[in-house]
Amino acid sequence: MAFTKTFKSFLINLGIMAGPSLKISDFAGFRKVLDSATKIAVLTGAGVSAESGIGTFRGPAGMWRTHNAMDLATLKAFEANPSLVWEFYEWRRSMAFNARPNKAHLALVEFENKCIKENRVFTLMTQNVDGLHIRAGSKNVFEIHGSLRKVKCTKCKLVYENTDVPICEALRGRGDPEKATTSDIPISDLPKCKNCSGLLRPDIVWFGEILDDNVLSKCVKALEACELFLVVGTSAIVYPAAGFAPFVQDRGVPVAEFNTDPISAVNFVFRGPCGTTLPEALGIDKE
């Protein structure tokens, strides 16, 4: 991947940085830093969407029928049984498309609009694939792991948006985690490319696959330029995202974490649901 040299070298030397002075629930102190920052970057994870009813792979929703969800989110699983994987993703798409953005999503939108008016730079990077940031109205968004609203042809590689539920007639009524059926839908009846009729797959970066270099490069540029970094609703244990906060701290830039169970050594920590702590920290009043 075309990482910048500084970020590349930092990933190689992770662990050399001492932890900062921790400030828990210091809304006033955080607001002073926030108000003075001209370039703000945000990384969000599954915790942001939890209040919209979307579970996480590593939480109680990590099982689908008798399968570990993480085992289905792989190219190997798709090649072995595309019918099973598409049933799983039909369920995930339906859940995501029927979910509504919550107060955390909306607070980020309102803050981004405030930044635009004040000629400040706001960059939102998300590990989520549910598209709720986009639907909420966020503009400068980088979806690191892809999106459920997009599909990719396994033959011609065309990527395009598709929010149909069901995505094809053969998947109608399929995917319910409580009603397991034999996943035996013929490949000929699974979602097909509008361009070449090849088999479609979700445009998701599955486990074991390489992140989009263009998207990641834009994220790194934001990390190298930001004056404040927010980590929202993510444990950030998967690289390269796990290296984002330490990299920013190594530059001497403050980091704030919003999570129900913060685990990082950062400058500011806000414990609790993101839909509660984030609007307050950003100065956004949401009823």
Active-site choice (67, 105, 133, 145): 145
Is residue 130 annotated as involved in ligand binding?
Answer: yes
Strands in 45-144 per DSSP E: 63-64, 67-68, 121-126, 141-143
Is the distance from CB of 111 to CB of 284 less than 8 angstroms? yes
Is residue 53 annotated as involved in ligand binding?
Answer: yes
Measure the CA dihedral 203/207/211/212, to 10°.
Answer: -10
Is residue 272 annotated as involved in ligand binding?
Answer: no
Q: Treating both helix axes as pointing N-terminal to C-terminal, what angle do 5-12 and 213-225 enclose, rounded to 10 degrees?
A: 90
Is the distance from CB of 151 to CB of 212 less than 8 angstroms? no
What are the counts of helices (DSSP H) followed by strands (DSSP E) for the chain?
11, 12
Q: In 10 A of CB 21, how many CB atoms?
A: 6
Please indicate whether residue 133 is annotated as part of the active site. Answer: no
Is residue 91 annotated as involved in ligand binding?
Answer: no
Is residue 259 annotated as involved in ligand binding?
Answer: yes
Q: Is 227 helix (H, G, I), strand (E, B) or coil?
A: coil
Is residue 137 annotated as involved in ligand binding?
Answer: no
Is residue 95 annotated as involved in ligand binding?
Answer: no
Give the span between the Cα atoms of 179 and 14, in whole angstroms: 45
Is residue 198 annotated as involved in ligand binding?
Answer: no
Is residue 89 annotated as involved in ligand binding?
Answer: yes
Is residue 45 annotated as involved in ligand binding?
Answer: yes
Is residue 61 annotated as involved in ligand binding?
Answer: yes
Give the span between the Cα atoms of 141 and 25, in whole angstroms: 27
Is residue 184 annotated as involved in ligand binding?
Answer: no
Give the span between the Cα atoms of 265 and 246, in whole angstroms: 9
**CA-only gyration radius of the chain, Å:** 20
Among 232, 262, 229, 234, CA closest to 246:
229
Is residue 47 annotated as involved in ligand binding?
Answer: yes
Is residue 182 annotated as involved in ligand binding?
Answer: no
Among 103, 2, 32, 80, CA closest to 267:
32
Q: In 10 A of CB 78, how many CB atoms?
A: 21
Is residue 44 annotated as involved in ligand binding?
Answer: no
As annotated, the binding site for Zn(2+) includes: 153, 156, 193, 196
As annotated, the binding site includes: 45-64, 89, 92, 127-130, 153, 156, 193, 196, 233-235, 259-261, 274
As annotated, the binding site for substrate includes: 89, 92
Residues marked active site are found at 145
As annotated, the binding site for NAD(+) includes: 45-64, 127-130, 233-235, 259-261, 274
